[in-house]
A = this chain, B = another copy of it.
Amino acid sequence: MNPEILRVVLVSPRNPLNIGAAARAMSNLGFSHLRLVNPYDVAFREAKSAVGAGHVLEAAGEFGSVSEAVADCSLVIGTTAAGPRELHHPVRRLEYGARLIRKHSCTSPVAVLFGSEKYGLSNDDMSHCHWLMRVPTREGHRSMNLGQSVAVCLYELIRDSRVAVREPARLRAAASVELERVTELLIGMLGCSGYVNPRTRTSTENKVRRLVRRLELSARDAEVWLGMLRQIRWKMDHNSGEDQHQERA
């Protein structure tokens, strides 16, 4: 979604630290429009926990009522810790609610409301909402910290479900020729050390080959292993008892 259309609306927040935490999460996750309805502490703009979120706090709008704070919004969502049966509104789990918000293909603002730390949104606040959304917290401990709730909701809005399926930028896996270099070196060292029983030699070599494949080495790591094994091999071949170190080219 375009983060520019979202308005994070904190209704009667009491603790400036929480306002700061909400602003920080917004900044972290790319959102910038904060609105406050009757904040308890006028000094919220100096909220200490707002590391790097000064721009969000400075630009925050203050409103006297929920009605004014959402006047220009075409979709208004309330957040709640309560279960579906306790409320008059449809309550959607965050996963689904965020999807609906992303699908709301309007260029006019969308508001997400968060209630006060102690009481959440009032019935009056909620009556301005099209529907409600809840983080799937467990039955025995539903109510989240305000700053954490904002962080989780915004994260769900920006998360990319395509990324979950495939890894985007993976290291190049080592090619067989590179794995075979490691394998041969290791087999040579094992032979030299007396590990290989001549009668089961082929079987042992195959075992080592499979063992190396299961490491799923990246090309870069295969290179590092080669370097380490070569150095050890060199020491095996020049075992004069001295603690000498090979000069590597």
Query: Measuring CB to CB, which residues of chain A are less than 8 angstroms from any residue of chain B?
Result: 21, 24-25, 27-30, 49, 51-53, 84, 90, 92-96, 98-99, 135-138, 141-145, 147-148, 151-152, 155-156, 158-161, 163-171
Tell me whether A90 and B163 are in contact (CB under 8 A). no
Report the copy number of this chain in the oligomer.
Answer: 2
- Distance (whole angstroms) from the CB of A85 to the closest CB of chain B: 10
- Distance (whole angstroms) from the CB of A21 to the closest CB of chain B: 6
Q: A84 to chain B: which residues have CB within 8 Å?
A: 169
Tell me whether A144 and B90 are in contact (CB under 8 A). no
Tell me whether B137 and A28 are in contact (CB under 8 A). yes
Whether A95 touches B28, Cβ cut-off 8 Å, given contacts A21-B145, A143-B51, is no
The listed residue with most B CB atoms (<10 A of its CB), out of A21, A27, A147, A159, is A159
List the B residue with the shortest CB-CB distance to A22.
B148
Tell me whether A95 and B29 are in contact (CB under 8 A). no
Whether A29 touches B137, Cβ cut-off 8 Å, given contacts A52-B143, A171-B90, is yes
List the B residue with the shortest CB-CB distance to A152.
B155
Tell me whether B159 and A161 are in contact (CB under 8 A). no
